[in-house]
Amino acid sequence: MSEEKQNLNELQEKREARRKRRQRNQILAYSVVIVVIVALALIILALIHAISNKAPKEGTEQSTASESSYVEEEESTDFFVEESTSEEETQESIEETEPVVVEPTYEEKLDEIVNAAIEVMPLEDKVAGLFLITPELLTGVRTVNKAGETTKTAFGKYAIGGVLLRTQNVKNKESFQTMLTNMAEYSRYPLFFAVEEEGGNNAAFAKANYGTKTSTAKAIAATGDVANAYQAGVTIGTYLRELGITMNLAPVADLANVDKSVMAERSFGDDATTVSEYVLQMVKGYQEQGITPCVKHFPGMGSVTSDPEKGRVESSRSEADIWGSEIELFHKLTEAGVPMIMVGNMAIQSLTGDKTPCSLSDKVVTGILRQQLQYDGLVITDMLSDKAITDFYSSKEAAIMALKAGCDMILCPESFEEAYEGVLAAVKDGTISEDRVNDSLRRVYRIKYANRVE
């Protein structure tokens, strides 16, 4: 056999070997496919059989096995019933878990009422609402003891915040009450009807037999019983309420801590803790009778020997002494939540660095009272008609300084019209912001609307 033929035979043998391997692989593959198909068919048949066994057989008797199956199905049905009940309970739970409506607090309701009232006020009325003045300053009439057309016209022009009344305004009790009723009707907004009725020698209405006389603060403190201060507050508050008064610029919270103090008879003493207790009891007595009290004269006027009504008055007490006594006292009062504080017209250089009256000083009103004592109640000036003010400032200047210092209300400037026009112009030109005016009005109306929250 030639070499060529031998190579050809070897090639044919290799080809035959490859053909046989391919046949074996194909047979193996077909076998696997057939096995898989058969397995699937068996699984399908088993499933069909299982399903058919679970289906109810109509017209046939239930075998023991069927009864057992029925019991199992019944148990299974119970499961589904329980599950359904659970779903119902879940639905009820979902229905019960509705959004909870949070009831607004008293403070939030009051803020809403106050803000709504201020929002609709014209600027002129906002500015006028910061003034508490006598009916004579409002009308230009020498003595007002009734409210007729002149008063009605004045209220139509100036929407003042309140009226300070004195015994000269009282002809008799009935006519006085009628006058206040008329004023309330003439005003576009609620009014404060205020007096300065401290008790003792500073109680003009009691002296004029329109109320029951009470002892001086000094005499009450001498009893050693704070209940007497409370009872004095109730007594004064009762006759003021019957007259139609809503605010009393009292009690005095000054310490009589120097010889011949101008507050000697009007003060409960010289100890901050003791005096604070008497003051708060008198405040409580007023408030129980519906009278808004105003404690005075921040930061303390008991260390001077003359009255700012007659001219400039200066206290020489050091800052440390004042903080350790007078301001400590007022801190106790602010913490107790007194609704209103009057700032005095005395000058205290250790606090202000100059001779600026405290009522016009931002270092005293904003720096100490507002910021350091964190007081957010109503703040009013002392009488801006005092000579301690008028000898050095015009009505316009004093009113603007008082508001910029942080006071909310201006008490009786020498010229109401000048003060009002000056403040109005200052707001319009940006010297005082309208937001600043709104802040003060909110404090005013939080007192006026305190009883309107349902």
φ/ψ region of 143 (left if φ > 0, alpha if ψ in -120 to 50, else beta) reads: beta
**Cα(135)–Cα(195) distance, rounded to whole angstroms?**
12
Provide the 10 A C-beta neighbour count for residue 2. 7
Q: What domains, with CATH codes, occur in the chain? A: 3-51+67-95 (no CATH), 106-448 (3.20.20.300)
pLDDT of residue 356: 98
Using alpha carbons, select from 121, 198, 187 the residue that is nearest to residue 160.
187
pLDDT of residue 38: 66
Residue pair 175/145 in contact by the 8 Å Cβ criterion: yes
**Cα(150)–Cα(103) distance, rounded to whole angstroms?**
46
pLDDT of residue 53: 58
pLDDT of residue 30: 63
Q: List, edge to edge, every strand of the sheet that includes 340-343.
A: 295-298, 340-343, 378-381
Tell me the pLDDT tens digit for each residue of 100-137. Answer: 888 899 999 999 999 999 999 999 999 999 999 999 99
pLDDT of residue 101: 80
Quickly tell me which residue has 């210092």 as its tokens. Answer: 405
pLDDT of residue 113: 95
pTM (two decimals): 0.79
Low-confidence ranges of the chain (pLDDT < 50): 1-5, 7-8, 55-85
**Cα(11)–Cα(295) distance, rounded to whole angstroms?**
126
The rounded Cα 343 to chain-centroid distance in angstroms is 23
3-state SS, residue 137: helix
pLDDT of residue 43: 73
pLDDT of residue 75: 44
Cis amide prior to 299 (ω within 30 degrees): yes
Tell me the pLDDT tens digit for each residue of 239-279. Answer: 999 999 999 999 999 999 999 999 999 999 999 999 999 99
Cβ neighbors of 72 (< 8 A, separation 6 or more) are none
